[in-house]
Structure 1
Amino acid sequence: MQDIVIDRSIENLIKEALKQNNATLVAHYYVSSDLQILAEESGGIVSDSLEMARFGQNSDAETIIVAGVKFMGETAKILSPEKRVLVLDDQATCSLDLSCPINEFSEFCDQNPDHIVVVYANTSAEVKARADWVVTSGSALKVVEKLHSEGKKVLWAPDKHLGHYVQSKTGIEMLMWDGACIVHEEFKAEGLKRLMQLHPEAGVLVHPESPKDVIALADVVGSTTQLINAVASRPENMFIVATDNGIFHKMKEIAPNKKFIEAPTMGEGADCESCAHCNWMAMNTLEKCLDTLSTGKNEIRISTQIIEKAQHSIHRLLEFTK
């Protein structure tokens, strides 16, 4: 009689643990490819932060495992307060979130009561609760266009580069918080120009968290999802991509015959042409996923009051984009 071989690889151990805990794994485009593959193979999703939270909300799972950074776990908890939400590492945060502490931000809002408060999704639950609107990089322009048509003035936080991009497209008056993504802010326009000269046939895809002189060189400016869609729909066979290189997994998956080049982040004499990857996203690993499922640690906890206030600003966006 032939022996039965049981696969005890870490991926299969995680899949078993997900079933035992009635849990679903949601992963961001910027985490490692092995986590992205595992999320989809186990019935979860790979997407941007808001869609991760919406998927968890609509899932029958009682527990949502978030492979991303802390604010993504908080967003999932806001939309699913009755569910247990776990992140893989509670120290994995975001420079945009860190740059916008709630006390200073609340004071800024209080000083400008005639402005509508619009905050990017890359913020804490407390900041979302203080806002009138929460937006994503894909929805920010349409929301601000709506507010502009209504004669509103906007207080924007925290990403100044995305804010300046939206302002340049709408002409609206905006008070800008001084925050930036440590990855996107490092993209260099001069280096990008040189790369474009080397590859004139390449399309240039840029996330709007990038500096304006980098955005000015783009063929497509858009959110993670919009950039991925551009890879599939545009005719170019090569793309220079200015966003976190974790996105390359999904781009290669949907366009396996196309070539992708990282936009440059480093200056002359640097050890690498591009180092476009978030160190906090890199803290997400398969080992931590299994450990979190096994121990139940790194649970996201938010007060009911904050959840209710933050739900208002997020639901406003969800209704608008429905």
Structure 2
Amino acid sequence: MSATDYAASQQVVRNYLDQVSLPAPVSAAREAELVEQATALLRAKDATLVAHYYVDESLQALAEATGGCVSDSLDMARFGQTAEASTLVVAGVSFMGETAKILSPEKRVWMPQLAATCSLDIGCEAGAYRAWRRQYPDHVAVVYANTSAAVKAEADWVVTSSIAVEVVEHLHAQGKSILWAPDKHLGGYVQKQTGADMLLWDGACIVHEEFRTRGLDDIKRIYPQAAILVHPESPDEMVAMADAVGSTKQLIEAARRLPHSHLIVATDKGIFYKMRQAVPDKVLLEAPTRGVGGDCVSCAHCPWMAMNSLERLVNCLHSDGVGHSIEVDEATRIGALRSLTRMVEFQRA
């Protein structure tokens, strides 16, 4: 993908950001009322709440309290397959809802806010990806989970950040060359870890690309004994400073494992809800973004994840999913199912 194309895709991302509608804050009393309503409605609609680590902690807490799931995108997908409920309510972003529907077509899949998308998804449009892939027919096409169902349908493999290195190692051992999309930072990290022959799509996450080493140097001077935890969607220079690099779930595990009393965390700050549960005796610090002394698009919190709220969840459930339902056409679903099934089965092996 050319630099010009990347610039164009980032303009598309900015256009989407202009359309973000964040929910208004609510009082503690109103939140308690919404939790009560949502709990009753989940039961009445035979629905289970599947929430990502990055959504508001009120939604994560509700998922825990009602027998749902709070996890990364891989475990969210696997949970949805085994959940007994006939309806999955996915609090996250659109590709997560699509993945749930692809893997569980017999279930209704709703989202509190259908407009919640992802900068990586936006920056990897299916037609452009299809054309790029056709230029390299001898490469194995591996796409990150943060892509549309249409892109997944063009790919050979889907991976999450928790298994990306292992999958590419597996393919590299077979002598395969890799066509990777869409996150260039994660792709570069995987390439360094595996030594694989990889061509990378020129895309990036607007949250993780905001982290800067200058700010990290500053906070390390204040907390010199703190460990640095970095998601591999972050720029390479951030990864180079890390004591632990990994997916959201892996970073929570690293927080438990590391002996440090202070942890500087370079990923979406929504992760702090579960990380505090894992290490209640440790001090968690947000890694600085370029929002300190400069412009910041996301400031360590995905604006589309932030579109999910208790009020929107209640509206979704009240409406029986009208205006909230995820649908994937059957041809696309079958195509995407092949690459997603490889991901799920690889994790189980």
Structure 2-normalised TM-score?
0.88
Is 1:192 aligned to 2:221, yes or no?
no
The separation in 2 between residues aligned to 1:101 and 1:290, in whole angstroms, is 32
The separation in 2 between residues aligned to 1:269 and 1:129, in whole angstroms, is 42
Three-state SS of the structure 1 residue aligned to 2:54 is: coil
Q: Which range is displaced more, 193-202 or 66-75?
A: 193-202
Three-state SS of the structure 1 residue aligned to 2:88 is: strand
Query: Could you say which residue in structure 2 is the equivalent of 1:130?
Result: 154
Give CA deviations for 1:43-80 in whole Å, capped at 9, x if unaligned.
Answer: 10100112112111101100000100111100110110
Is 1:10 aligned to 2:10, yes or no?
no
Equivalent of residue 304 in structure 1, options 321, 324, 330: 330
User: Which residues of 2 match residues 1-322 of structure 1 at below 5 A?
Assistant: 9-266=33-290, 269-270=293-294, 275-295=299-319, 296-297=321-322, 298-322=324-348
Query: What letter is aligned with 1:286?
Result: L
**Structure 2 contact 112–316 (Cα < 8 Å) conserved:** yes
Query: What letter is aligned with 2:50?
Result: V
CA shift at 1:306, angstroms?
A: 1.1
**Structure 1 contact 187–265 (Cα < 8 Å) conserved:** yes
The separation in 2 between residues aligned to 1:15 and 1:198, in whole angstroms, is 43
The separation in 2 between residues aligned to 1:305 and 1:61, in whole angstroms, is 25
**In angstroms, what is the RMSD of aligned CA positions?**
1.5
The separation in 1 between residues aligned to 2:238 and 2:103, in whole angstroms, is 34
Three-state SS of the structure 1 residue aligned to 2:179 is: strand
CA shift at 1:275, angstroms?
A: 2.0
**Structure 1 contact 10–286 (Cα < 8 Å) conserved:** yes
**Structure 1 contact 191–267 (Cα < 8 Å) conserved:** no
Three-state SS of the structure 2 residue aligned to 1:61 is: coil
The separation in 2 between residues aligned to 1:186 and 1:266, in whole angstroms, is 6
The separation in 1 between residues aligned to 2:188 and 2:179, in whole angstroms, is 12
CA shift at 1:178, angstroms?
A: 0.8
**Structure 2 contact 291–299 (Cα < 8 Å) conserved:** no
The separation in 1 between residues aligned to 2:87 and 2:167, in whole angstroms, is 31
**Structure 1 contact 145–170 (Cα < 8 Å) conserved:** yes
The count of residues paired between Structure 1 and Structure 2 equals 315
Three-state SS of the structure 1 residue aligned to 2:133 is: helix
Query: Could you say which residue in structure 2 is the equivalent of 1:3?
Result: none
**Structure 1 contact 71–93 (Cα < 8 Å) conserved:** yes
CA shift at 1:197, angstroms?
A: 2.1
Residues 74 and 271 (structure 1 numbering): CA distance in 2 closer, same or farther, change over 3 Å?
closer
Give CA deviations for 1:14-54 in whole Å, capped at 9, x if unaligned.
Answer: 11101111000000000011000000101101001121121
Residues 268 and 315 (structure 1 numbering): CA distance in 2 closer, same or farther, change over 3 Å?
closer
The separation in 2 between residues aligned to 1:275 and 1:120, in whole angstroms, is 23
Query: What letter is aligned with 2:333?
Result: I
Structure 2 gap ranges (5+):
1-30
Three-state SS of the structure 1 residue aligned to 2:325 is: coil
Structure 1 gap ranges (5+):
1-6
Kindly report structure 1 stretches of 4+ aligned residues shifted beyond 6 Å.
Answer: none
Residues 268 and 301 (structure 1 numbering): CA distance in 2 closer, same or farther, change over 3 Å?
closer
Give CA deviations for 1:219-273 in whole Å, capped at 9, x if unaligned.
Answer: 000000000111112111110000000000111112111101111112663499x
Residues 305 and 267 (structure 1 numbering): CA distance in 2 closer, same or farther, change over 3 Å?
closer
The separation in 1 between residues aligned to 2:130 and 2:156, in whole angstroms, is 12
Residues 176 and 271 (structure 1 numbering): CA distance in 2 closer, same or farther, change over 3 Å?
closer
The separation in 2 between residues aligned to 1:143 and 1:8, in whole angstroms, is 43
**Structure 1 contact 50–75 (Cα < 8 Å) conserved:** no
The separation in 2 between residues aligned to 1:67 and 1:321, in whole angstroms, is 23
Give CA deviations for 1:263-313 in whole Å, capped at 9, x if unaligned.
Answer: 1112663499x9210111110000000000110131000011111111111
Using the aligned pairs only, state the percent identity: 56
Residues 141 and 8 (structure 1 numbering): CA distance in 2 closer, same or farther, change over 3 Å?
closer
